[in-house]
Amino acid sequence: MRVLGIDPGSETLGWGVVEGNGLKYAAVDFGVVRSNRRHPFATRLANVYDGVAAVIESFRPDVVSIEEAFYAVNAGVAIKLGQVRGVMLLLAEQRGLTIAEYAPRLIKQTVVGYGNAEKHQVQEMVKVLLRLKSVPTPHDAADALAIAICHFHHSGVRKKIEDRAR
């Protein structure tokens, strides 16, 4: 299974591709899609769409794992992140990919063992779990890798629940 993790952002969107089976997985590649904050928001949405579409075309993931919406102090930021998430969900749906969404606290709990972990802790654990030589940077890409790792840890449980519901 190949998972594309996405850490949504309108200025910097992190992505990470992880491949494996069960709890055995490895990093394929990771990076960010950057947008100019001076550009109109619709232009930035088109930019992240095109950037992630290119990643999907290059790496052919089976699953898109994305961070769920969270509460932000600034409502405007939360709305913009929601719009970026919507564009990513649309892109994944258009490409016929399985979509998995995970809460930020669950991602941190899964990767670090603590739901309120800080950015540098997530980066360090991603490095360890993926056996990387150095900490993945920027933190947006590390977060995307963490989101993909989270899917590997929870997809088996999710499948069992879905199978029992049938």
Give the pLDDT mean for 64-78: 83
Q: What percent of the chain has pLDDT over 70?
A: 92
Position 164 scores a pLDDT of 66
What would the two tokens of residue 3 be?
């998972």
- How many of the other CB atoms lie within 10 Å of CB of 96? 6
- Residue 140 annotated in active site: yes
Position 58 scores a pLDDT of 98
Position 78 scores a pLDDT of 86
* Phi-psi group of 11: left, alpha or beta (phi > 0 → left; psi -120 to 50 → alpha; rest → beta): alpha
In angstroms, the CA 62 to CA 97 distance is 6
Choosing from 67, 101, 118, 124, the catalytic residue is 67
Query: Domain extents for the chain?
Result: 2-165
In angstroms, the CA 126 to CA 121 distance is 9
Rg of the chain in Å (alpha carbons)? 15
100, 64 in Cβ contact below 8 A? yes
In angstroms, the CA 69 to CA 33 distance is 19
What would the two tokens of residue 144 be?
């995307």
* Top-confidence residue, 156 or 79: 79
Helices (H), the chain: 41-59, 75-94, 104-112, 119-129, 139-165
pLDDT digits (tens, 9 = 90+) for 115-165: 889 899 999 999 999 999 999 999 999 999 999 999 999 987 655 555 666
Choosing from 118, 140, 143, 163, the catalytic residue is 140
Torsion of CA 80, 85, 86, 87, to 10 degrees: 90
Q: Which residues contact 49 (CB under 8 A, 6 or more apart)?
A: 87, 91
- Three-state SS string over 17-53 comes to EEEEECCEEEEEEEEEEECCCCCCHHHHHHHHHHHHH
Superfamily of domain 2-165: Ribonuclease H-like superfamily/Ribonuclease H (3.30.420.10)
